[in-house]
Structures are given as structure tokens and as C-alpha cells.
């Protein structure tokens, strides 16, 4: 197969949702269609159940299996599909943000009863930063939920994106009868079933009397009225707008009952983008270029403390990656060769000889890689766009075992390179502050420092509201600001200036008083 054809048939995406909307269930059903698994229930999600606030062994166990489920590749209708898994627990949201830098599109799962929830909103913001094409699956139609038209309004206003239904439910909850597939113009009647796939009924014209026979006169009339309304209110599906991340097609179904999932997948492979160009500092890289380029978006540490190797997950941005070929690690300026790169097919990790733009390869690593590192066939390129977001929680990290200072330092730096959390060094007192998205990450750090580095840390409270990256074209004003706020100025791990605002009010005052300073809430600006 030609390079062009191989790349063109790849669909690399992530499924994102607020916890409990049905991401894991939908992932599993998609794998069933791809033949990657044969029975439902085979996917052991790597999500950390919300009840397990700090059940350590459970988390470790789940992290252990999550390597295999990090990327799930399978073949479907001549397409090569790569689903990138994201952690279910919101304390690991930063991991999800980074994974989103490696996908070409996204499917958002929304619970019909709950509508748009906080995590959905946040993840959508990340998608918007890179204009990632988004498709929405409204799940749990077998339960009572919001009126579909109200839900579309909510999606539009809360997610700030135009929507276009491509399938439409006939009732929901107890009276749920099925969905009409607007995209393919066929009808699927609902029969609750967790294992098998219902057949669709071709229905070119919904004015056909056959519809009345199939769903009853009243519901047939309602569907016709709804269709009329949809065609009147919503513009037709527009591929360019979808590609630009401006329009989200919406599907309805029930992942648990395997209903509406095939419709979603069939439409997805047809309209979702194949690998897209990726920006580097030097130039935009086209996926169809012959030479290999890629970047590290995730590092997975080995759980075995005696064997501290990691797997660096590389998204291939262009060309073909080959086993045992020398590639340049741009940050270190050295050539590296990989004898056992792994790909992820049907939930198995296996050594591969080649992989193409759009694919993810796992490279066994003993500390060469950091998140964001670029690998190329030789060209000096630096891929951009693995942003850090202002953390939500902050604590001072202190050494609890003075004999192990070196180990602690090493551990902190390695964990930060792996992207577990963010480190800020307060320039006033030189104390180290760790910023996270949730409490669980502090526990992960403490546990891993002890078990992997033999170092002990202690947390001390620090009351902060946000960390903002600051910059200005006016060096005098920047200097003045740094002097005035000396106690609250820190450096991030790349040595960039960060203002640690202790309240929203203080931040607002600073923004008012120092008009020539730009305050950023992500590290990418």
C-alpha cells in the first residue's frame, strides 16, 4: 500500500466526556465493531472509580493495565482506527489535555439527562484551542432525559459550537423506539441488547406509509414534524465547517444497548479527518511528507521499582516510522534507534516494523524523553503545542528525609518531565510549589517518590488561586511588577516567569494596574 493510502485511511481520535456519561461503554462497543474484542465487558477501563479516593493499590493496578488500553487500534471497513484513551478521573485532566494534542478529531459523549457538564465544557475549550473537529454522541437514550431540541440548544450555547443533528431519536426512556439516521436516511428500531447489533431499515422517504406501520401513526407524525423543524432551523451538514471545528454533528443512541453506535462509527469514518498538518516552530509539517517526524505526548512510567523504564508515546506527524532506523532526538541533539517499538492493536501491545502518520508508537525509554520532545529523520524541527494549564491546587513540597535530598530532587524533576504535575520555584524564598488539577495527584507524587526514588516528601499548605504565565513588551513595567509582587513570582520548569495570584481579586487588580503585562492561563501563547 502506498504511503498516501496508508495515511489517508487513518482516523486517530479520542472519546471525551464528563465521568459517567458513557465513554468507557462507547469505547468498548466501538471495539466490538472493529472485531478488536468479541464480547462486551472485555475492556477493563483504566478509569479510577470515583469512590476510590485514595485506594493506592487500585490506582497502581489500573495504571498498570492502562498501557495496553492507552491506544486502541483496529481495522474497520478498510480504515485504520486509533482510539486514544483518556483518564476518566478528573484529577488527571492534564493527561487528557495532552492526549488531545495527539488526535485529529474528538467524539464527545453527553448524557441525555445531564446535558453539558463541567468537564465536557473544559475539554471542549481545549479542543477549541486547536480547532479540533468534534462530533457529539448523546448517550443513554433508553432513559428519560432532556428534550432533544433543548439539548441541542444547550450544546450550542454551552459548548460554543454550531450543531447539526445527523440522527434523530423517536422518543426516549420507556417509549424510546429508535433513531432515524438523517445522514444515511434509514431507520433503526430499538431493541435493548447489550451484545448484538440491530439491523437498519432503509427508508428513503420518511413520508412513506411504512413509517406509520413501523413506529405507529403518532410517532411517525412527530418524526416528520421534527425533521421539518430540523431542516428549517439547522443548516445542512457542512464538511468544511466540521473540519474547522466550527460545526459538530450530533448523534443519539445508547452505548450500553449498542444502539446508534454503528451509525456513529459509519459516519465517523467517512467524515472525520485523516491525519492533519501539524505546526512546528519552524514550519507546518504535512502528514504525507516522506520523512518521519513525531512528538512525545505522553510518558508512562513502569510500575516495577527495580526496573525504571518508561514508555514514551509518540504521535507520528509525517511519513513512516521504521524499527531499527536512526532518528534524531532534537532536544538532545543525538541519534537514537529503536529495536522494539510497540504499536497497539486490538488491545495488545506488539512490536512493529513500521507505523504511519496518524499512528502512535510506544518507545521503551530509560529517561531520554520528556513530554513535548520532537523526533525527526534529521531535520531540526520543534513541534509546538503541548500546553500546560494553570493548576487548580498548590502545595509546597518539603523534604521529609534530609538524607535523601538528591533522590527527592531527581524524583521531582523526572515526575514533572513525565507531566504528572507542575513545578514552580518561588523566587522569593526558593521554595518548591507543586501545582495539580486535583488532590489525587499529590498522593500519586508522594507514593511514587517513595516507591520509585526512595525519597520522602511532606506537603505544606500554600494558599494560591491561579498561576499565570506573564510576559510584556515593556521590560521596565515587567521589572516593576516583579519587584512589587516579589513574594509571588516564580519560575516554571522551563524558566519562564509565573505570577502566583493568591486570589481572583489580586489578579484582577494586577491586570488593572499593569496594562502592559499579559497574563496567560496556559503556558502556550
20 near ligand G4P, judged by CB under 6 A? yes
The terminus-to-terminus CA distance of the chain in angstroms comes to: 40
Q: How far is the CB of 192 from ligand G4P (least distance, A)?
A: 9
One residue of 94, 95, 142, 373 binding ligand G4P per CB under 6 A: 142
Alpha-carbon span 235 to 332, nearest angstrom? 50
The SS3 of residue 367 is coil
Region at 116 (left for phi over 0; alpha for psi -120 to 50; beta for the rest): beta
**Stretch touching ligand G4P by CB under 6 A, among 23-31, 146-154, 178-186, 239-247:** 23-31
**What is the chain's Cα-based Rg?**
25
Q: How far is the CB of 70 from ligand G4P (least distance, A)?
A: 15
24 near ligand G4P, judged by CB under 6 A? yes
One residue of 9, 140, 164, 395 binding ligand G4P per CB under 6 A: 140
One residue of 10, 23, 177, 395 binding ligand G4P per CB under 6 A: 23
Alpha-carbon span 189 to 323, nearest angstrom? 48
22 near ligand G4P, judged by CB under 6 A? yes
Alpha-carbon span 482 to 441, nearest angstrom? 30
* Of 95 and 365, CB closest to ligand G4P: 95
Q: How far is the CB of 20 from ligand G4P (least distance, A)?
A: 4
**Stretch touching ligand G4P by CB under 6 A, among 17-25, 51-59, 161-169, 317-325:** 17-25
178 near ligand G4P, judged by CB under 6 A? no
Site for ligand G4P in 71-90 (CB under 6 A): 88
> x/- binding map, residues 213-252, to ligand G4P, per CB under 6 A?
----------------------------------------
* Of 22 and 372, CB closest to ligand G4P: 22
Alpha-carbon span 518 to 496, nearest angstrom? 13
96 near ligand G4P, judged by CB under 6 A? no
- Contact residues for 223 (Cβ-Cβ < 8 A; gap 6+): 168, 170, 180, 206, 211, 215
- Contact residues for 421 (Cβ-Cβ < 8 A; gap 6+): 94, 391, 415, 434, 435, 436, 441, 442, 445
**Stretch touching ligand G4P by CB under 6 A, among 22-30, 56-64, 79-87, 387-395:** 22-30
Q: How far is the CB of 256 from ligand G4P (least distance, A)?
A: 3
List own/partner pairs for 447-453 with CB under 8 A and 24 or more apart: 447/56, 448/301, 448/411, 448/415, 448/420, 449/408, 449/411, 449/412, 449/415, 451/305, 452/301, 452/305, 452/308, 452/411, 453/404, 453/407, 453/408, 453/410, 453/411, 453/414
Going from the C-alpha of 422 to that of each of 25, 382, 410, the distances in angstroms are 32, 21, 15
Q: How far is the CB of 522 from ligand G4P (least distance, A)?
A: 25
Residue 156: CB atoms within 10 A of its CB come to 16
One residue of 8, 9, 16, 17 binding ligand G4P per CB under 6 A: 17
Nearest to 22 by CA among 30, 12, 11, 32: 30
Asked if 287 and 317 count as a contact pair (C-beta separation under 8 A), the reply is: yes
Helices first, then strands: H and E counts in the chain: 14, 31
Grid coordinates in use for 493? 520548569
Q: How far is the CB of 336 from ligand G4P (least distance, A)?
A: 36
* Of 36 and 203, CB closest to ligand G4P: 36
> x/- binding map, residues 38-77, to ligand G4P, per CB under 6 A?
-------x-x------------------------------
Site for ligand G4P in 248-307 (CB under 6 A): 254-257
Size of the site for ligand G4P (CB under 6 A): 19
Asked if 96 and 16 count as a contact pair (C-beta separation under 8 A), the reply is: yes
Q: How far is the CB of 41 from ligand G4P (least distance, A)?
A: 8
Q: How far is the CB of 186 from ligand G4P (least distance, A)?
A: 21
* Of 24 and 347, CB closest to ligand G4P: 24
Q: How far is the CB of 45 from ligand G4P (least distance, A)?
A: 6
Please report, as ranges, the residues that interact with ligand G4P according to CB under 6 A. Answer: 17, 19-25, 45, 47, 88, 139-140, 142-143, 254-257
Amino acid at each position: 500500500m502506498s504511503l498516501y493510502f496508508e495515511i489517508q485511511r487513518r482516523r486517530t481520535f479520542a472519546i471525551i466526556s464528563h465521568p459517567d456519561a458513557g465513554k468507557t461503554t462507547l469505547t468498548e462497543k466501538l471495539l466490538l465493531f472493529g472485531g478488536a474484542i468479541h464480547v462486551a465487558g472485555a475492556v477493563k477501563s483504566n478509569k479510577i472509580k470515583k469512590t476510590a479516593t485514595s485506594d493506592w493499590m487500585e490506582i497502581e493496578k489500573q495504571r498498570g493495565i492502562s498501557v495496553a488500553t492507552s491506544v486502541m487500534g483496529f481495522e474497520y471497513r478498510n480504515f485504520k482506527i486509533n482510539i486514544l484513551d483518556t483518564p476518566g478521573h478528573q484529577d488527571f485532566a492534564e493527561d487528557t489535555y495532552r492526549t488531545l494534542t495527539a488526535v485529529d478529531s474528538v467524539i464527545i459523549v453527553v448524557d441525555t439527562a445531564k446535558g453539558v457538564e463541567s468537564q465536557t465544557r473544559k475539554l471542549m475549550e481545549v479542543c477549541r484551542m486547536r480547532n479540533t473537529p468534534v462530533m457529539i454522541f448523546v448517550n443513554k437514550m433508553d432513559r428519560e432525559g432532556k428534550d432533544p431540541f433543548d439539548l441541542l440548544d444547550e450544546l450550542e450555547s454551552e459548548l460554543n459550537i454550531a450543531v447539526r443533528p445527523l440522527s434523530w431519536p423517536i422518543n426516549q426512556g420507556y417509549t424510546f423506539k429508535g433513531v432515524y439516521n438523517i445522514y444515511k436516511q434509514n431507520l433503526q428500531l430499538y431493541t435493548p441488547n447489550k451484545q448484538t447489533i440491530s439491523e437498519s431499515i432503509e427508508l428513503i422517504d420518511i413520508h412513506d406509509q411504512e413509517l406509520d406501520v413501523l413506529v405507529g401513526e403518532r410517532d411517525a407524525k412527530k418524526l416528520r414534524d421534527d425533521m421539518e423543524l430540523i431542516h428549517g432551523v439547522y443548516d445542512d451538514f457542512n464538511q468544511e465547517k466540521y473540519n474547522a471545528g466550527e460545526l459538530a454533528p450530533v448523534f443519539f443512541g445508547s452505548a450500553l444497548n449498542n444502539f446508534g453506535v454503528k451509525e456513529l462509527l459509519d459516519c465517523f469514518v467517512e467524515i472525520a479527518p485523516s491525519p492533519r498538518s501539524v505546526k512546528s516552530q519552524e514550519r507546518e509539517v504535512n502528514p504525507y511528507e516522506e520523512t518521519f517526524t513525531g512528538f512525545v505526548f505522553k510518558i508512562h512510567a513502569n510500575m516495577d521499582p527495580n526496573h525504571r523504564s518508561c514508555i514514551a508515546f509518540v504521535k507520528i506527524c509525517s511519513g513512516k516510522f521504521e524499527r531499527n532506523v536512526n532518528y534524531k532526538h532534537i532536544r538532545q541533539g543525538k541519534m537514537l534507534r529503536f529495536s522494539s517499538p510497540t504499536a497497539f492493536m486490538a488491545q495488545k501491545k506488539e512490536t512493529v516494523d513500521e507505523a504511519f502518520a496518524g499512528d502512535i508508537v510506544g518507545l521503551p525509554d530509560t529517561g531520554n524523553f520528556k513530554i513535548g520532545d520532537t523526533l525527526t529523520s534529521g531535520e531540526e524541527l520543534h513541534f509546538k503545542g503541548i500546553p500546560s494549564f494553570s493548576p487548580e491546587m498548590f502545595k509546597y513540597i518539603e523534604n521529609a528525609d534530609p538524607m535523601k535530598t538528591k533522590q527527592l530532587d531527581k524524583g521531582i524533576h523526572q515526575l514533572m518531565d513525565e507531566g504528572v504535575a507542575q513545578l514552580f520555584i518561588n523566587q522569593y524564598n526558593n521554595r518548591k510549589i507543586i501545582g495539580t488539577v486535583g488532590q489525587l495527584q499529590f498522593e500519586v507524587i508522594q507514593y511514587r517518590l517513595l516507591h520509585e526514588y526512595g525519597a520522602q516528601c511532606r506537603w505544606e499548605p500554600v494558599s494560591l488561586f491561579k498561576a499565570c504565565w506573564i510576559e510584556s513588551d515593556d521590560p521596565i513595567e515587567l521589572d516593576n511588577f516583579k519587584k512589587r509582587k516579589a513574594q509571588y513570582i516564580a519560575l516554571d520548569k522551563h524558566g519562564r516567569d509565573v505570577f502566583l495570584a493568591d486570589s481572583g481579586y489580586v489578579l484582577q487588580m494586577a491586570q488593572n494596574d499593569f496594562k502592559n503585562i499579559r497574563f496567560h492561563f496556559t503556558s502556550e501563547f
